[in-house]
Amino acid sequence: MAEMPAFTPVHLLTGFLGSGKTTLLKRLLADPALADTAVLINEFGEIGLDHHLVERIDDTMVLLQSGCVCCTVRGELADALRELHSKRERGLVPPFTRVIIESTGLADPFPVLSTLKSDPVLRHHFRAGTVVTTVDAVNGLSQLDTYVESTRQAAIADRLVITKADLCEDKADLSRLLSRLTEFNPDAQRIMAGTDDPDADALFGDHAAQRATKLQSPSGFYCDTPTLRVTAEGVALHTAISSFVVTVDRPIDWTGFGIWLTMLLNRHGERVLRVKGILDLVGEDRPVAVHGVQHLVHPPVHLDAWPSGQRVSRLVFIVDGLDANLLKRSFNAFALAGNSDARPQPEAAAQIRNA
Amino acid sequence: MCSLCGVIGGNEHWTDAVARPGVFTRNVERLDRRRERARRVSAANSVLSAFGMSLSDWQGSAFVLATRTGKSEMIEDLGHLWPAAERLSGRLCDPLDPQLILRMEEANHG
């Protein structure tokens, strides 16, 4: 019997319609590494079809049929997970150690994560795992331009799987797609799908069950500086999804930061697709990492050491139509407020470097 | 749920994370916890004053948000603060409001 983790990770597999989620899932489930995985498939449509395609029908496979995960099905998702948990406790199903949810192509991934966090039973047994988003190399670019769902899915992802790259004849298109993805999700790991890869471990492997390690970007440094989209006039676009980094070289007041971020997320939560950062806090030697997706912020994590030995707070924002400069100014005014009381300085607003 | 006051135990908010390995929280030692709550009340008040509201600690387990006219509401954590503040004041509490930012900046300098 496999050892059951205290918190079962729930991974989310998402991606726009036709971007290869089910194909990927089907291949992954054949991998012995995923033998102890419960799968929830959510489909938008009258007749669920995906679960036939995946060809694995057992008690740990649940089909959520009554609608899209993001709207009607939240209750059903919670029920399904609770049911799975209860069956596992009673020994009615094999003791799964992870759950994968395949969401519909139109779903906004956020409510799934939020369900895990807010359900009184689930939050003691499950935790949010990796968000994997498939992006179609052929149609991806136009989908990103046309459908906000597609952009949100890509912006929220921890790992992006580029599918159908072999079908993509124009390599320039592919590199445009990749640079586009870098624009609004600079820190996600990008994986090219082939016939045999990525393997299950690369996508859902959770070596250290700590969010902290996930906060390290593939390049090793915490956050790669994202490129800012600019219009022809050289003005930063803030009508579309953009990402930017706020860098502060003075310690931040944790309390003020908490007040500020909760206030920001209360008002603009749906437009803050992602916020993650490493903070140099007043009174703390080690860095503290925060990680949030829309209205949901994960418990802050103490990191062991500064990634580059440099004590600088950096916060990456992926926002949908918020003014980056206003947000930086606001952060400055609020999160450093308590700090300036303790150390009155004429230049109370810390220097913020525009990325 | 507390059987005396009927306060339903809710979500764990990220600013009050339960201590677990690796998790950063000031919610462990009693003194740290009380100190952090006091700091939170004062930091929140510096913002809330712009809306004519104030926050106070309630028994170390909740907060009371009140307007100048005495309308008040109990809230459990920061996750409930801003929706309640908007409800009581009838105004939007927007940290990106330039006037509010200006006010905060002036308070920092002053």
Q: With CB atoms and an 8 Å threshold, state whether A262 touches B82.
A: yes
Give the chain A residue whose CA is nearest to the CA of B43: A256
Give the chain A residue whose CA is nearest to the CA of B79: A262
Mean pLDDT of A64-89: 66
Helix (H, G, I), strand (E, B) or coil at A227: coil
Asked whether residue A158 carries a pLDDT value surpassing 50, the answer given is yes
Mean pLDDT of A70-86: 69
Which of B75, B95, B54 is closest to B10 using CA atoms?
B75
Neighbours of A305 (CB within 10 A): 9
Q: With CB atoms and an 8 Å threshold, state whether B20 touches A299.
A: yes
Q: With CB atoms and an 8 Å threshold, state whether B101 touches A288.
A: no
Mean pLDDT of A155-170: 80
Whether B101 has its CB under 8 Å from any CB of chain A: the answer is yes
HSE-CB at A114 with a 13 A cutoff on CA atoms is 16
Residue B99 tokens, joined: 């006037």
Distance from CA of A267 to the nearest CA of B (A): 6
Asked whether residue B37 carries a pLDDT value surpassing 60, the answer given is yes
Q: Which pLDDT score is estimated for A1?
A: 45
Q: With CB atoms and an 8 Å threshold, state whether B95 touches A330.
A: yes
Helices A254-268 and B78-89 cross at an angle (nearest 10°) of 60
ipTM comes to: 0.89
Per-residue pLDDT band at B25 (split at 50, 70, 90): confident
Give the chain B residue whose CA is nearest to the CA of A283: B26
Q: Is the pLDDT higher at A239 or at B97? A: B97
Task: Kindly report the pTM of this predicted structure.
Answer: 0.66
Q: Which pLDDT score is estimated for A74?
A: 58
C-alpha gyration radius of chain B: 15
Mean pLDDT of A153-172: 79
**Chain A residues with CB-CB distance to B15 below 8 A:** 258, 262
**Chain B residues with CB-CB distance to A253 below 8 A:** 43
Measured in residues, chain B has a length of 110
Whether B31 has its CB under 8 Å from any CB of chain A: the answer is no
Whether B1 has its CB under 8 Å from any CB of chain A: the answer is no
Residue type, B96: L
Give the chain A residue whose CA is nearest to the CA of B39: A255
Whether B45 has its CB under 8 Å from any CB of chain A: the answer is no
Residue B32 tokens, joined: 């740290």
Asked whether residue A109 carries a pLDDT value surpassing 70, the answer given is no
**Chain B residues with CB-CB distance to A269 below 8 A:** none
Tens digits of residue pLDDT in A175-205: 888 887 877 777 777 788 776 667 777 777 6
From B15, B22, B83, residue closest to A266, measured CB to CB? B83
**Chain A residues with CB-CB distance to B44 below 8 A:** 259
Q: With CB atoms and an 8 Å threshold, state whether B14 touches A268.
A: no
Q: With CB atoms and an 8 Å threshold, state whether A123 touches B12.
A: yes
Instruction: Identify the structural domains of chain A with CATH numbers, from first to last.
Output: 8-207 (3.40.50.300), 241-354 (3.30.1220.10)
CA pair distance A223, A244, nearest whole angstrom: 10
Distance from CA of B4 to the nearest CA of A (A): 21
From A123, A260, A338, residue closest to B95, measured CB to CB? A260
**Chain A residues with CB-CB distance to B101 below 8 A:** 326, 329-330, 333
Query: To 10 degrees, the CA torsion angle through A9, A15, A21, A25?
Result: -10
Mean pLDDT of A158-168: 80
Whether B50 has its CB under 8 Å from any CB of chain A: the answer is no
Q: With CB atoms and an 8 Å threshold, state whether B108 touches A264.
A: no
**Chain B residues with CB-CB distance to A266 below 8 A:** 82-83, 86, 93
Name residues whose C-beta falls within 8 Å of residue A202's C-beta, 6 or more positions apart in sequence.
A159, A191
Q: Which pLDDT score is estimated for A213?
A: 47
Q: Which pLDDT score is estimated for A228?
A: 44
Q: Which pLDDT score is estimated for A299?
A: 80
Neighbours of A341 (CB within 10 A): 16
What percent of chain A stands above pLDDT 90?
Answer: 4
Residue B77 tokens, joined: 């954590």
Q: Which pLDDT score is estimated for B67?
A: 94
Tens digits of residue pLDDT in B46-97: 999 999 999 999 988 889 999 999 999 999 888 889 999 999 999 999 999 9
Asked whether residue A314 carries a pLDDT value surpassing 80, the answer given is yes
